[in-house]
């Protein structure tokens, strides 16, 4: 017996869902003799890559983990006192293991299907309650991308809602005491939409200036000063100026809230509520405001409603508005947010409760007080008068301090004006502070005896202290022991359907395997506990990871360079369009501002174009869903003089590889425009074709789709952009690259995220995926994604109409099922979506890009058995539709209209439906042995919008509202 010693357990075989026999069976069904024949029939020959990808050979899981451990060790774990919006924190272990490291939480999708998402909806409601309570505001959303983005959103929201008296006003004041990364990003976002940003001292600003409509303040300020803005806000209001405050959530446990000072919006980051710094992210930002602005609030709001039985049920509120991404009327483009991180922050507040949070805040403040009380003994001058956790010190010893501190593994904040900032956090102990003081003492030459107090008296003025209660709801006052918390988390987890239950065939969202090995490194301290502004010399691991991933993605896309700054696909679109804008400006073509966008595009495309200051011109699609080339040519010609770009998704959101794509790109280029490719469908390109080879100049990738970053229940995401050579100088810059925004010339790009590398810690996931798959594995993934989609198409062919296909009748990696004909029998696509829940499946993408349809994307990771289970389900549902159509089933009282069925409903003694309980909940035999129970019946969306409640209220109080 010969034994092959190289026969290792290949990761690719675990990622792809099938063996050779299954593969052959599927090819037989689709009528192709081989996988390559199917690909030849599907992808136009003109766009095929001519040679295989050049990537390192694939690693086994074990070899990968060993290798990345070495990389991780190149990140040096210094104690960070840098602050400035990022703080060390302690993720409670019960949360680390049961949320952050738990696929049941991290593989869920955005909670559009509320009936199978009540767990994360409840945690998001807790998050909104946490934010409204601490900020003292009336309403908050279920997270934004980062603090700087949230501040920019406040600027644009104020612009949209400003009072009539300020109709012409377009100046936004930003306090110079805001975090530099916030000032940087606000500059970027203001310019294209015609807002003028003035940065200065808030005590000096002329509030009578007619052009001023809004202001942004920082609380506590970047230098640590706790300033009572009550008078400033009152004076601003008198002058019809709206005021936003960027606030530190932890400090609000001790300090008077911005809401009590009269702020109109409060933004910030919830990072220090248990979410590691991760070299910049991901973290959940928050946005709280007055209830009167609820329809203008960016991002998603979770609201309380009722289900078909009148029970309390949660859902995404005011959804029909998707107000902020309403195509060319957009005010924002937030689609993917930071749900997983908001869930963690909410969990942190639930676990610690108001007393626990206050104790943490007190300890952090106390350590700061101890530091100040002691350091003055060594003749340092503390410039901050009223502080919570941060102080700024005037000293000529800055460089010496830096040298000495780094010797002891300590990072401080070194400011451009020579001052030094020290920020305390939850992870610091009494002895850490003593060590820090010793460094300051040594540098100053202090040789006396340091007097250390065991107890300190807070120096905060009484008038700054918080008097109002917070987190009074029972949810924040119940689960403080680990057992209670564990069980609460389990109760919520059990309500949500995720990839741990079944395939999620969401078209355009690529819900593929998020392998465990890919997820392991990101919570290692060497990746998790690194401040985004840590000195370059300490982040060799991140540098290597980013450089290698950059090179691999360039190879995959055919581009010259990537920027990892954008922290979602839509932010990538914005960054890409800003690069195009800057490129045109650098050539004196500032007037080029028309973006051509096909009707089939995702809503974020036109929204991003509007934010980049472009004028959206929509081009038509033909009967088959292809871009109407004649219309596109005509419009490109019509707008030739002002053409900035085309935004095109490839393959299109209709699931077809447009044959004409190369010609389309040439038309745009011939009129002086650039081609922006939306890379959301990159899962249908990798290894077979590429954005650059097709003719695109810039493209974003959704790493949270194609490259395995899990969706986290609605975020995090990462949306890096790749650009051709000529656009490289226009990639996003960042204040930490030493280019101050006010010094950027026309034609230079600013920051699009708070952190220089966006959500850096989760880049480890995509890095892992590519490292373990290798070139062949990645290419096979694309081929199998196409096979799986065509297999489903063939299996469902006799039962459903597929809306669009390519020349040979093949679909790309996804397809659209037309459900509009069922409407005559009273059955909507939504009824199918809800009925799928009774069968244990999440619905495909509903009514996008065509109303009344379902878009199915199976991905490469599903086995034939799972695909068959899904197809059998769809066929069984089709049979149920027929029963309604031919009068066998009641037109109203049927399994589709009443779906989903909860355990409560079917166990009711008074069951009086026109069909059996068995048909309701066990329509296929296997469900008897593996049943997922939706926790609420169909949610009443209209009720929730009419009675908008976006924070936790006791269930009894809710009954009164009813």
The site for ligand PLP (CB under 6 A) is made up of 335-336, 508-509, 568-570, 602, 604, 649, 653, 678, 680, 702, 717, 719
Best CA proximity match to 53, nearest among 703, 786, 779, 780: 779
Helix, strand, or coil here: 3? coil
Please give the structure tokens belonging to residue 183.
Answer: 């000032």
We find the least distance from the C-beta atom of residue 725 to ligand PLP, in angstroms, to be 25
Please give the structure tokens belonging to residue 809.
Answer: 């009748």
Helix, strand, or coil here: 846? strand
We find the least distance from the C-beta atom of residue 718 to ligand PLP, in angstroms, to be 8
CA–CA separation, 945 and 114 (whole Å): 14
Contact 153, 144 (CB under 8 A): yes
Contact 341, 273 (CB under 8 A): no
Of residues 252 and 339, the one with the C-beta less far from ligand PLP: 339
Contact 881, 896 (CB under 8 A): yes
Contact 625, 804 (CB under 8 A): yes
The tokens 């409407």 sit on which residue?
823
Neighbours of 49 (CB within 10 A): 16
Q: How many CA within 13 A on the CB side of residue 463?
A: 7
We find the least distance from the C-beta atom of residue 853 to ligand PLP, in angstroms, to be 15
Of residues 680 and 731, the one with the C-beta less far from ligand PLP: 680
Of residues 80 and 683, the one with the C-beta less far from ligand PLP: 683
Instruction: Cis check for the bond before 184: say yes or no (omega within 30 of 0).
Output: no
Of residues 80 and 681, the one with the C-beta less far from ligand PLP: 681
We find the least distance from the C-beta atom of residue 109 to ligand PLP, in angstroms, to be 10
We find the least distance from the C-beta atom of residue 106 to ligand PLP, in angstroms, to be 16
Of residues 175 and 604, the one with the C-beta less far from ligand PLP: 604
We find the least distance from the C-beta atom of residue 110 to ligand PLP, in angstroms, to be 8
CA 277 to chain centre: 16
Of residues 616 and 775, the one with the C-beta less far from ligand PLP: 616
Of residues 568 and 764, the one with the C-beta less far from ligand PLP: 568
The sheet carrying 420-423 orders its strands as 79-81, 410-414, 420-423, 390-394, 381-382
We find the least distance from the C-beta atom of residue 185 to ligand PLP, in angstroms, to be 17
- Phi and psi at 671, nearest 5°, equal -100, 15
β-strand partners of 618: 597
Exposed e or buried b per residue across 837-854, where buried means at least 16 C-beta atoms within 10 angstroms of its C-beta: bbbbbbbbbbebbbeebb
We find the least distance from the C-beta atom of residue 618 to ligand PLP, in angstroms, to be 16
We find the least distance from the C-beta atom of residue 509 to ligand PLP, in angstroms, to be 6
Of residues 502 and 604, the one with the C-beta less far from ligand PLP: 604
We find the least distance from the C-beta atom of residue 897 to ligand PLP, in angstroms, to be 29
Of residues 303 and 719, the one with the C-beta less far from ligand PLP: 719
CA distances from 694 to 8, 45, 691 (A): 37, 11, 5
We find the least distance from the C-beta atom of residue 448 to ligand PLP, in angstroms, to be 57
Of residues 222 and 333, the one with the C-beta less far from ligand PLP: 333
Best CA proximity match to 85, nearest among 230, 154, 184: 184
We find the least distance from the C-beta atom of residue 335 to ligand PLP, in angstroms, to be 3
Best CA proximity match to 874, nearest among 844, 845, 894, 850: 844
The tokens 């949320």 sit on which residue?
99
Of residues 411 and 568, the one with the C-beta less far from ligand PLP: 568
Of residues 656 and 680, the one with the C-beta less far from ligand PLP: 680
We find the least distance from the C-beta atom of residue 313 to ligand PLP, in angstroms, to be 25
β-strand partners of 940: 306
Residue nearest to ligand PLP (CB): 569
Contact 763, 549 (CB under 8 A): yes
We find the least distance from the C-beta atom of residue 337 to ligand PLP, in angstroms, to be 9
Of residues 274 and 655, the one with the C-beta less far from ligand PLP: 655
β-strand partners of 306: 312, 940
Of residues 335 and 436, the one with the C-beta less far from ligand PLP: 335
Contact 225, 248 (CB under 8 A): no
Best CA proximity match to 87, nearest among 540, 413, 470, 385: 413
Of residues 250 and 509, the one with the C-beta less far from ligand PLP: 509
Of residues 214 and 282, the one with the C-beta less far from ligand PLP: 282
We find the least distance from the C-beta atom of residue 139 to ligand PLP, in angstroms, to be 23
Which H/E stretch holds residue 783?
Answer: helix 763-796
We find the least distance from the C-beta atom of residue 146 to ligand PLP, in angstroms, to be 14
Instruction: Cis check for the bond before 651: say yes or no (omega within 30 of 0).
Output: yes
Range list of H helices, 697-849: 763-796, 829-838
CA–CA separation, 923 and 925 (whole Å): 7
Contacts (Cβ under 8 Å, ≥6 apart) of 957: none
Which H/E stretch holds residue 938?
Answer: none
How do beta strands 265-269 and 242-247 pair?
A: parallel
- Phi and psi at 929, nearest 5°, equal -105, -15
CA 182-146-169 angle, 5° bins: 50
We find the least distance from the C-beta atom of residue 859 to ligand PLP, in angstroms, to be 14
């Amino acid at each position: 017996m010969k034994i092959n010693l190289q026969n290792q357990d290949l990761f690719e075989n675990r990622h792809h869902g099938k063996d050779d026999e299954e593969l052959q069976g599927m090819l037989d069904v689709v009528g192709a003799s081989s996988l390559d024949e199917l690909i030849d029939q599907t992808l136009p020959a003109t766009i095929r890559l001519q040679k295989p990808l050049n990537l390192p050979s694939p690693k086994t899981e074990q070899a990968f983990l060993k290798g990345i451990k070495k990389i991780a060790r190149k990140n040096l774990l210094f104690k960070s006192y840098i602050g400035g919006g990022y703080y060390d924190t302690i993720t409670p272990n019960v949360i680390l293991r049961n949320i952050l490291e738990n696929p049941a939480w991290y593989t869920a999708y955005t909670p559009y299907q509320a009936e199978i998402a009540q767990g994360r909806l409840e945690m998001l409601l807790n998050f909104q309650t946490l934010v409204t309570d601490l900020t003292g505001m009336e309403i908050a959303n279920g997270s934004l991308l980062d603090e700087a983005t949230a501040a920019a959103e406040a600027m644009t929201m104020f612009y949209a809602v400003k009072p009539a008296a300020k109709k012409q006003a377009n100046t936004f004041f930003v306090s110079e005491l805001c975090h530099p990364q916030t000032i940087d990003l606000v500059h970027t976002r203001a310019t294209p939409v015609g807002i003028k940003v003035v940065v200065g001292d808030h005590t000096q600003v002329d509030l009578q200036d007619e052009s001023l409509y809004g202001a942004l303040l920082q609380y506590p300020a970047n230098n640590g000063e706790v300033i009572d803005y009550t008078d400033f806000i009152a004076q601003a209001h008198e002058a019809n100026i709206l005021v936003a405050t960027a606030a530190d959530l932890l400090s609000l446990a001790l300090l008077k809230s911005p809401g009590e000072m009269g702020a109109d919006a409060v933004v910030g980051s919830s990072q220090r509520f248990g979410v590691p710094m991760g070299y910049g992210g991901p973290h959940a930002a928050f946005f709280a405001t007055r209830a009167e602005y609820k329809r203008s609030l960016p991002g998603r709001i979770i609201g309380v409603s009722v289900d078909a039985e009148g029970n309390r049920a949660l859902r995404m509120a005011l959804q029909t508005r998707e107000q902020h991404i309403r195509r060319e009327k957009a005010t924002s483009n937030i689609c993917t947010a930071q749900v997983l991180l908001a869930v963690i922050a909410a969990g942190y507040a639930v676990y610690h409760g108001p007393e626990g949070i206050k104790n943490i805040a007190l300890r952090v403040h106390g350590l700061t007080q101890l530091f100040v009380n002691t350091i003055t003994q060594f003749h340092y001058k503390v410039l901050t008068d009223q502080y919570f956790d941060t102080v700024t010190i005037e000293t000529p010893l800055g460089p010496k301090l830096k040298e000495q501190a780094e010797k002891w593994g300590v990072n401080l904040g070194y400011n451009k004006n020579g001052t030094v900032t020290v920020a305390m956090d939850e992870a610091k102990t009494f002895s850490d502070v003593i060590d820090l003081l010793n460094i300051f003492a040594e540098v100053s030459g202090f040789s006396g005896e340091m007097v250390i107090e065991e107890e300190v008296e807070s120096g905060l003025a009484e008038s700054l202290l918080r008097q109002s209660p917070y987190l009074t709801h029972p949810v924040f006052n119940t689960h403080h022991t680990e057992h209670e918390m564990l069980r609460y988390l389990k109760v919520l987890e059990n309500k949500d359907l995720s990839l741990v239950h079944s395939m999620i065939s969401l078209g355009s969202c690529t819900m593929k395997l998020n392998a465990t090995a890919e997820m392991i490194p990101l919570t290692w301290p060497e990746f998790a506990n690194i401040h985004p502004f840590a000195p370059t010399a300490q982040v060799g691991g991140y540098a290597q990871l980013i450089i290698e991933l950059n090179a691999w993605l360039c190879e995959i896309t055919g581009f010259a360079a990537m920027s990892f700054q954008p922290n979602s696909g839509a932010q990538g679109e914005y960054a890409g369009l800003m690069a195009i804008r800057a490129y045109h400006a650098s050539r004196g073509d500032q007037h080029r501002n028309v973006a051509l966008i096909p009707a089939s595009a995702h809503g974020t495309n036109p929204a991003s174009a509007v934010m980049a200051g472009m004028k959206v011109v929509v081009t038509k699609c033909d009967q088959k869903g292809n871009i109407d080339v004649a219309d596109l040519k005509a419009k490109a010609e019509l707008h030739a003089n002002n053409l900035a770009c085309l935004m095109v998704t490839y393959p299109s959101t209709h699931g077809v590889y447009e044959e004409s794509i190369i010609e389309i790109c040439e038309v745009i280029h011939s009129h002086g425009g650039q081609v922006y490719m939306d890379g959301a469908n990159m899962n249908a390109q990798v290894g077979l074709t590429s954005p650059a080879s097709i003719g695109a100049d810039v493209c974003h990738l959704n790493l949270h789709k194609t490259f395995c970053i899990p969706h986290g229940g609605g975020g995090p995401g990462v949306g890096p952009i790749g650009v051709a050579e000529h656009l490289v100088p226009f990639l996003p810059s960042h204040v930490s690259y030493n280019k101050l925004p006010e010094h950027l010339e026309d034609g230079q790009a600013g920051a699009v995220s708070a952190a220089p590398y966006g959500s850096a810690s989760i880049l480890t996931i995509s890095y892992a995926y590519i490292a373990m798959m290798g070139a062949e594995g990645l290419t096979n993934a694309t081929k199998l994604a196409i096979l799986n989609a065509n297999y489903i198409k063939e299996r469902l062919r006799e039962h459903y109409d597929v809306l669009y296909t390519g020349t040979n009748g093949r679909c790309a990696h996804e397809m659209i099922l037309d459900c509009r004909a069922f409407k005559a029998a009273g059955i909507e696509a939504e009824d199918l979506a809800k009925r799928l829940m009774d069968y244990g499946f999440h619905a495909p993408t509903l009514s996008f890009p065509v109303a009344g349809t379902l878009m199915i994307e199976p991905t490469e990771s599903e086995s034939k058995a799972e695909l068959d289970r899904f197809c059998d389900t769809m066929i069984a549902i089709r049979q149920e539709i027929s029963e309604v159509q031919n009068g066998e089933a009641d037109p109203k009282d049927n399994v589709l209209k009443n779906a989903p069925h909860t355990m409560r409903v079917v166990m009711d003694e008074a069951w009086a439906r026109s069909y059996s309980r068995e048909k309701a909940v066990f329509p296929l035999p296997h469900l008897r042995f593996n049943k997922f129970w939706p926790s609420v019946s169909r949610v009443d969306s209209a009720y929730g919008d009419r009675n908008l409640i976006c924070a936790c209220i006791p269930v009894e109080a809710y009954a009164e509202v009813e």
